[in-house]
Every structure is written in structure tokens, then in C-alpha cells.
């Protein structure tokens, strides 16, 4: 596992992350501590890596798709328990972060300026692609968070363009985080996914380290990668990486988390740009 070399100084441009967020409400399940120990540690390191609390986090989660890019505008978003089969108490957990309507408006302005259609949602709460990693990153919920949806159709180029439109936020003290999972085939999880996850992860980790033009070209053509559709039968957990890469610009990706035995044999990664 590699760790980013430096932290951000006050007033400097913030990095961009793509994180593997794990399954369901795992931070509230102590019986899963061993399985998630390395992922939890990598998420807990992020505030120190960034070097300061951002004024807000913009989170693009795999678990929200909408007809157009849609930004959450509630001042106090509720909770969306978008998982099944977990203990009853996990359907009452809370992550009481504040929203940021002003940031939602700023995101809308940036997207419209880039020629992208955008909607706002005053009602939608936080899904587990947001609240599970945020519980590990900021357990006191001290940083406001706004979620931004994927766009149905899951076109890689559209999400790269979305990230490019969001890039100015890095200079406005907003931390952009794409939240997915670098391997997401629930029919071949654990040991059955060992070979496919290893092959796809090797390709993905090499791709994000390329210069911008080559990196983006590879990500647009991600289905040509080894074991691509075995790793992602449906690509919603990969598309947040496209947003992060778009916002990264010329910044090269590096591992912020890398594990070869996740959930009994999967190779999974998270990346930091900048």
C-alpha cells in the first residue's frame, strides 16, 4: 500500500479522491472490524492527508442515479438505507452531517456553464455510499457534505466532463470524492472474484498513473480492460472514478488504499489525485 507524500497547505488546491466504500453500513458493525480494518484505516487517514478540514465535501456516490446530474440541496439531509439483509439496528444509524445549499447552487452554476443539464433535489438524504465512508473519515460529522448523482446511461465520457466542470471547486476549499468500489460483482464476491479483481485492478491502477490524455482515453474504453465485465457487470461503482479523474486534470493518480485479500480474496483500491 502506498500513501500520498504530502498534505495540503492552507489555501492550496485540494486533492481529489476515488474511494472504495465497502458494503452497506459496515462502520456500525463491530463484528466486521477485521474484514474492513485496512479500508477503515485508509479512510481515517484522509483528513491528515488533506491537511485541513475542507469547507465542504462534494460526494459522488455509486448509489444515486438520476435522469440528469442532480445535486442534493437539503440543509440537513436525512438518511437513505439503501441496503438489505443487515441487522435491524443498522436501519436506524445516523450520520448527522450538515448539507450546504450554497455549494449545491455553486455546483449547478458550474455544470450549466459547462453546458451540462443539472437538477436540484431538496428532499433526498444521504445513501450508504456517502455515510459509511464518512463515518470512518469524519466520525464527528464536522464537515458539511453535498451529494451529486450519476447520470443514467452511465456514459464514461459524460462523467469525465462532469469532473472537468467541477474542477474549480478544488481551489474553493471543496474536497471532491468519488465513492464506489473498484471491484463490484456481487455474484462473484470473495474468493470467486480473486482472479478477475486482480486482473482488473492491475489495469486500473496503471491507467490512473498515466498522463491525463492517456488516462482519460483508457478510462473511456474501460470495457476493453482485462476482466472488465467480470469486475463490473454494471459500471455504477466505477463511474465515480471518471468524475474524480475529470476533476484531477493533469494530476496523476496514486493509491491511497490497496488490498489484495479484501473479503476473502478480492483486490480493491482507492486513488488520490494531487
Residue 203 is assigned to a structural domain of this protein: yes
pTM of the predicted protein model: 0.94
- Residue 211 CA, distance from chain mean position: 21
pLDDT (tens, 9 = 90+) of the chain, 274 residues, equals: 333 333 445 568 999 999 999 999 999 998 877 889 999 999 999 999 999 999 999 999 999 999 999 999 999 999 999 999 999 999 999 999 999 999 999 999 999 999 999 999 999 999 999 999 999 999 999 999 999 999 999 999 999 999 999 999 999 999 999 999 999 999 999 899 999 999 999 999 999 999 999 999 999 999 999 999 999 999 999 999 999 999 999 999 999 999 999 999 999 999 999 9
Residue 261 is assigned to a structural domain of this protein: yes
Question: What's the pLDDT score for residue 248?
Answer: 98
Q: Please tell me what DSSP assigns to residue 182.
A: S
Q: In this structure, what CATH number is given to the domain that contains residue 155?
A: 3.40.830.10
Strand-pairing partners, residue 270, are: 257
Residue 3 is assigned to a structural domain of this protein: no
| Total number of residues shown for the chain | 274
Question: What's the pLDDT score for residue 86?
Answer: 94
SS3 for 17?
strand
Residue 8 is assigned to a structural domain of this protein: no
Contact 59, 177 (CB under 8 A): yes
Strand-pairing partners, residue 17, are: 177, 272
Give the count of beta carbons closer than 10 Å to the beta carbon of residue 5.
Answer: 7
Question: What's the pLDDT score for residue 4?
Answer: 35
Please give the residue range of the domain that contains residue 145: 16-273
Question: What's the pLDDT score for residue 6?
Answer: 37
Residue 187 is assigned to a structural domain of this protein: yes
Angle between helices 156-166 and 212-220 (to 10 degrees): 140
Question: What's the pLDDT score for residue 2?
Answer: 34
Contact 15, 274 (CB under 8 A): yes
Q: Which residue has the cell 453500513?
A: 25
Question: What's the pLDDT score for residue 8?
Answer: 44
- Angle formed at CA 264 by CA 262 and CA 269, multiple of 5 degrees: 20
Contact 256, 17 (CB under 8 A): yes
Question: What's the pLDDT score for residue 215?
Answer: 98
- Angle formed at CA 45 by CA 193 and CA 98, multiple of 5 degrees: 100
How is residue 83 written as a grid cell?
441496503
For the chain, the domain total comes to 1
Residue 9 is assigned to a structural domain of this protein: no
Residue 11 is assigned to a structural domain of this protein: no
In order of 67, 100, 159, 212, 272, the CA distances from 3 in angstroms are 37, 30, 26, 21, 9
Strand runs labelled E in the chain: 16-20, 56-66, 69-72, 118-121, 145-151, 174-180, 253-262, 266-273
Residue 7 is assigned to a structural domain of this protein: no
Amino acid at each position: 500500500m502506498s500513501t500520498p507524500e504530502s498534505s495540503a497547505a492552507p489555501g492550496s488546491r485540494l486533492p481529489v479522491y476515488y474511494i472504495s466504500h465497502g458494503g452497506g453500513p459496515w462502520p456500525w458493525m463491530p463484528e466486521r472490524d477485521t474484514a474492513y480494518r485496512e479500508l477503515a484505516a485508509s479512510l481515517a487517514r484522509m483528513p491528515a492527508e488533506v491537511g485541513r478540514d475542507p469547507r465542504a465535501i462534494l460526494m459522488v456516490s455509486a448509489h444515486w442515479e438520476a435522469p440528469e446530474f442532480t445535486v442534493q440541496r437539503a440543509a440537513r439531509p436525512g438518511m437513505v438505507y439503501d441496503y438489505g439483509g443487515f441487522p435491524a439496528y443498522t436501519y436506524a444509524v445516523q450520520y448527522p452531517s450538515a448539507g450546504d445549499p450554497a455549494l449545491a447552487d455553486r455546483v449547478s452554476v458550474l455544470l450549466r456553464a459547462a453546458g451540462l443539464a443539472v437538477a436540484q433535489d431538496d428532499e433526498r438524504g444521504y445513501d450508504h455510499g456517502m455515510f459509511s465512508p464518512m463515518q470512518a473519515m469524519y466520525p464527528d460529522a464536522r464537515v458539511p457534505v453535498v451529494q451529486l448523482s450519476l447520470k443514467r446511461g452511465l456514459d464514461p465520457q459524460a462523467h469525465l466532463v462532469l469532473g472537468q466542470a467541477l474542477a474549480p471547486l478544488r481551489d474553493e476549499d471543496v474536497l471532491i470524492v468519488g465513492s464506489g468500489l473498484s471491484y463490484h460483482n456481487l455474484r462473484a464476491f470473495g474468493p470467486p472474484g480473486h482472479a478477475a479483481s486482480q486482473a482488473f485492478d492491475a489495469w486500473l491502477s496503471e491507467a490512473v498513473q498515466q498522463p491525463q490524455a492517456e488516462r482519460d482515453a483508457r478510462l473511456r474504453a474501460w470495457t476493453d480492460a482485462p476482466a472488465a465485465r467480470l469486475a463490473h457487470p454494471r459500471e455504477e461503482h466505477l463511474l465515480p472514478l471518471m468524475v474524480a479523474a475529470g476533476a484531477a486534470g493533469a494530476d496523476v493518480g496514486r493509491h491511497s488504499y490497496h488490498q489484495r485479500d479484501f473479503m476473502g480474496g478480492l483486490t480493491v483500491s482507492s486513488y488520490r489525485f494531487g
